[in-house]
Every structure is written in C-alpha cells, then in structure tokens.
Structure 1
Amino acid sequence: MNLHRLDLVSLSLFNLVARTGSISRGAELANLAVGAASKRISDLEAAVGAPLLERHSRGVTVTVAGQALLGHAQRILSDVDQLAADLSDYAAGIVGVVRLWANTSAVTQFLPQDIAGFAEANPGVRIELEEENSSETVLAVLDGRADLGIFADRTPTLGLHVQRYREDRLVLVVPQGHALDGRERLRFEEAVDYDFASLPRGTSLARRLQAETEALGRRLKIRIHVRSFDAMCQMVAAGMGVAVLPRDAIQAQLRVLPLRQIELEDDWASRRLLIGLRDAAAVPRHVRLLIEHLSRQA
C-alpha cells in the first residue's frame, strides 16, 4: 500500500463521487473528463489496495474501505481549506488569530464592546469567538481548541492560569403582577419556592443556583430549561416562572417585556468572570495583546 501516491485532486474527486453516487456526476463537478476521473479512482484503489466503490447500473456505492477513506479525505480537504483561509489572512495583513471561547454572560454583557475596541486598535489580529458554557470553555483551553477562555468563578479550572476579567451582578427577574412584584430587594430563599426558568444544567449559572438551593435544604423547581438569556426573559414574561440572570444582560428585555428586576442581597449574587490560559509564559504576542486589553477593562 503506497498512500504517498494520494493527491488532493483525487481525494476531492472521490468525495464528490461518493456524495453524488456517480462517477460521471463527480467528474462533472470536478471539471474532469469521465475517462480521467475513472483513471484517478482506479489509481486510488490501487494505492489503497482495496475496492473503494461498488459499480452498478444506477451508479456507484461506497465500500467499507471507501467509507474509511472518505472520512479521512473529508478531514484532509477541510484542513486544506482552513490552511488556505489562514494563508489568505496573512496575505491580507493579518498577523495573528486568537481563538477565544467565552460563556454567555461575557458574550452578552462585555465582549462586544471590548472586542470592538481591541479590533480598532489592532486591525492585524483576527478574533474567532465561540460561545459555550464555562466548563466547556475551560476544557477547550486545556486541549488546545482555544487560546484563551472567559468563564465564571466556581468553575473548576483544572490547572489553568487565571486572572480577573470582569464582575457582574445577578438579579431575580419576575413578570409584572407577580407576588414578588413591588419588592426592591430580597434574599434568594424568599423566591426559591416559586417555579423557575433556567439555563441548561451544565451551565455555571444553573449549577450555582442548584448549589445555593441545596445549601438552604430546599429543592429548586425548574419548570423549563432554555438556552439563552433572551429566551429566559421571554418565558418569565409569559408566566412560566421566575429567573436569576445577570443584571446588565437583561436591560434591553426589561424595556420591551412586562418584567421586573429585583436585587438579590446574597453575597454569591456578585460573580467574577475570569480569563484562563494554559501557559502564561508561552503566549504568542497577538494573544498577549488581547489579554492585556481585556484585563484593562476590569
């Protein structure tokens, strides 16, 4: 088996043939003559040492060996596309790319303005922002999918180097006319017996509420789980429960929905958002520039 004979044109052709179920259609999409395409497929089979396609009157189907090659071919072609995109960035004057993962609180409240300010001052640095929950963000930094992450305190950092980014304040959100409407401040235990709308269980906010409820010896009554702060506000406005949310993240919703925010007097309602990275001593300059910019915003 001589896999060094594989080439990108043949892998791309094989991907098209497998996807369309036809050598002639794959050849057409690859801008190749049918005879040339058939020769390339035969050469691939010779290099692999096994049939890749089963030929029949209605076209072709992929064999078991073909399925194995197809998976690798698609990954290789995707990597080549990413390489081309990265090189085109450098050709256009991009000096670095920062892969930043952050939780919803950071993305909703702070990062739009902070990233815009950084991009204006550093036009040669491109930021790829991924929104995920705090635990997934930590894991992404640990395994190298992200250069740095922003997540809530109380999240296990698993050895990451961390520094402070921002602080936010959690408030209770209730529909207008609710039994608690009219209160300016309260402790969480005064609301814990009501139905709640919540983010998914794996998020740092959901885990925090669960832990504080258990510390009270009570059980949180989650009526519905949704995936965004806006959806939580919509559910509260529709009478599906109350919710605990970051104060600065909901101001736009308070202006358009029949909602009230109530200050929580509990110490845990004040949260810290942290910046995490794997190795503070080996950070590329363009990543360091972003970290310094975000740290200044604190």
Structure 2
Amino acid sequence: MRDFDLTTLRLFVSVCESGNIARAGEKASIVGSAISKRLAQLEDQVGTPLLLRKRHGVVPTPAGQTLLEHARGMLDSAARIERDMQSYVAGSRGQVRILASVSAMSESLADDVAAFLRQPAHASIRVDLEERVSPEIVRGVREGLASLGVCWDATDHAGLQARPYRRDTLCVVVPAGHPLAARRKLRFADTLDYEHVSLPVNSAVQLMLQRQAAQAGRSVNHRIVVTNFEAALRVVHAGLAISLVPREVAEPVAAAMGLQLIPLAESWAQRRFILCYRDAQNLTPAAKLLVEHLASLAPP
C-alpha cells in the first residue's frame, strides 16, 4: 500500500469530526470539491468506502471509523515530531520521552522530574511523560517509542538494561466498617472473598495478583476496573469494593476519605521500580543526565 498523505488524513479527520465536507473546507480554507477529490482518492487507496453520504452530511463507515482512529494516532505522532524538532531549533539541547507506570506517575516521578528540570544546568532539556501499563512500557522502549521506561522490576524487561529507582509498599484499602477493617495485617488470600476494584487487567500488578490467586486455587473478583489510583480510592470510599494500592498513594488521603489501610503480609508487597532503556551507550546526553538523577534517588 502506498504511503498515506498526512494532509489528506488531517482533512479526513476534520470531515469526520464536523460531519460535513463544507464545514471542514471552511476550517481548512479549502474548497469542498478539493476535499471530496482527496477523500475519493483515499478511498481508492484503501479499497473500501470510508464515508457514508447522508442528506445533511457524512458519517464514517465501519472501515472509516477504524481509519479515523489510526489517523488520529498518526497525526499525534507527526505533531510530536514537529514539536520535538522545533525544540532543537529554539536552542533546546535535549528532549527525553518517558513511559511510566500509573504507580510511578501517582507517586514520585513527576516531582523527581520537576526537580531535575529546575536545576539551571537542565533548563534547556525537555522531558515528556506518558502513562502506560508496564508491558506496554517495556514494549515501547524496545521499539524505540521512548528513551526511558519506569516500571515495576517484576515486569519482564529482558533485552533492556535497567537501574534501580524508588520503592513502594502495597496495602489493602477498605472502607470504614468493612469486615476486614479491624485486621492488623492481611494475607492476599484473605482478600479474595471480597470484590476488588482493580487497574487494567494487563497491568503488571494485576497480572501478578492473578498469578498469586491462581496459586491459591482462587481468582480475583474484579467488580470494577479503573485506570488510576484516585478512582480506585473513590470506589473504595463508596463501599463498592476493596483494593490493593500503594501506601504512598493512599496514606495522604486515607483519613479524609474514611479509609482503612491494612499492611499486606506478602514479600511481593514491597515493590522496587526500575529505569529501563535499550543501551546506556546510545542514550542522548540529556537522557543520561536524567537517568543519573533518577537512579540517585534509589534507596540503599
């Protein structure tokens, strides 16, 4: 298949979002007939209709909806390339992209990066952060989508180099008055009789919890799946489920939300995070400086 033209994809996205070729043309200062010609060529290129013409506009076909999702991703990547290149034109001496787990993002990573950037010597370095689940972090670093990944060391990061970063401790969070609230310590198996609010099932911690439950001949009852710990704590506060959350995230808000934090009596509750990258020798100077700064924060 021939390469896609970004201008045509941009017009296609605009037409889908506005639902009207004429309005998309006004926005782009292009006559509607020119857009129609480009879209017809795009349909010829992919070999299937992309838009369904209706009386008052257009809507994407199922194939068009799929292309729309891909087009948005391609345009976002193109915009990121342009922005990164402009930073060099403007005199910036470096740019580092980090893929990080929800735990790292919710705890200390943002503050640690901010402290790095506040140093005068790093004023011309740009750092971009993007949240991903741990398997996607490792895959993204392997494929060159980011210079650096920050994830749990239990994640399979074979083929990548790694250095220690920070640590955290998982605990069981329950609402006040819950049957487990009076317990001083819990085994993970003790939580399996209750419904859980969990992070996405392909995250490293959820995969590990599923394995631990399977070893006990049980399964985790995921009542609700959320994408961040703040949402998980709100669900627990509402009394809908319990959750396993880093103490470092839950402790600052536990009292205000009426939550009980119970230590988890499992060796894997003490988690270590790592900085992973393809090859230290091939890191940019900016990335090397950032790795050294973050690695210096690892506990002894």
Tell me whether 1:93 sits opposite 2:91 in the alignment: yes
1:69-94 deviations in Å (ceiling 9; x for gaps)? x9999899767644542343224332
Name the CA distance, whole Å, in 1 between partners of 2:177 and 2:279.
Answer: 51
Q: Deviations over 1:41-95 (max 9, x none)?
A: 999x99xx99xxxxxxx9999xxxxx9xx99998997676445423432243321
Determine helix, strand or coil for the equivalent of 1:206.
Answer: helix
- 1:105 deviates by 0.6
Q: Deviations over 1:238-287 (max 9, x none)?
A: 22222111110112331321210011121111111111111122111101
Aligned to 2:157: 157
Alpha carbons 2:98, 2:127 under 8 Å: kept: yes
- Extract unaligned runs of 5+ from structure 1: 51-57, 62-66
CA distance in 1, matches of 2:148, 2:192: 35
Aligned residues of 2:251 and 2:261 also touching (Cα < 8 A): no
TM-score (norm 1): 0.77
Q: CA deviation at 1:188?
A: 2.1
Partner of 2:136: 136
**Which one-letter code corresponds to 2:256 in the other structure?**
V
Deviation string, structure 1 residues 192-232 (Cα, Å, up to 9, x no partner): 32222211211111112111222222232222222211111
Q: Which SS does the other structure have where 1:213 is aligned?
A: helix
* Cα separation, partners in 2 of 1:216 and 1:94, compared to 1, 3 Å: same
**CA distance, structure 1, for counterparts of residue 175 and residue 34 of structure 2:** 69
Alignment of 1:5-16 (within 5 A): none
Evaluate the alpha carbon distance shift between residue 262 and residue 15 of structure 1 in structure 2; reply closer, same or farther with a 3 A threshold: closer
- Amino acid aligned to 2:293: H
Identify the range of structure 1 (167-176 vs 79-88) with the bigger mean alpha-carbon deviation. Answer: 79-88
SS at match of 1:260: strand
TM-score (normalised: structure 2): 0.77
Contact 1:230 1:253 in 2 (8 A): no
CA shift at 1:147, angstroms?
0.8
Q: Which amino acid aligns with 1:180?
A: L
Describe the SS at the equivalent of 1:250: helix
Q: Provide closer, same or farther for how the CA distance between residues 266 and 31 of structure 1 changes in structure 2, counting only shifts above 3 A.
A: closer
Match of 2:193, as an amino acid?
D
Cα 1:213/1:123, change in 2 over 3 Å? same
Q: Which of these two proteins has the greater Rg computed from alpha carbons?
A: 1
The corresponding residue for 2:104 is 106
CA distance in 2, matches of 1:239, 1:10: 50
2:161 partner letter: H
Structure 1 residue 224 and structure 2 residue 263: aligned? no
Q: Counterpart in 2 of 1:295?
A: 295
Q: Which runs of 5+ in 2 are unaligned?
A: 46-54, 59-63
SS state of the match for residue 140, structure 2? helix
Residue in 2 aligned with 1:54? none
Q: Superposition RMSD on alpha carbons, in Å?
A: 3.9
Q: How many residues align?
A: 282
SS in 2 for 1:150: strand
Counterpart residue number, 2:51: none
Secondary structure of the residue that 1:172 maps to in structure 2? strand
1:258–1:146: structure 2 CA closer, same or farther, 3 Å change rule? same
For 2:83 and 2:74, the matched residues in 1 are separated by: 14
Name the residue aligned to 1:276. Answer: 276
Identity of aligned residues (%): 35
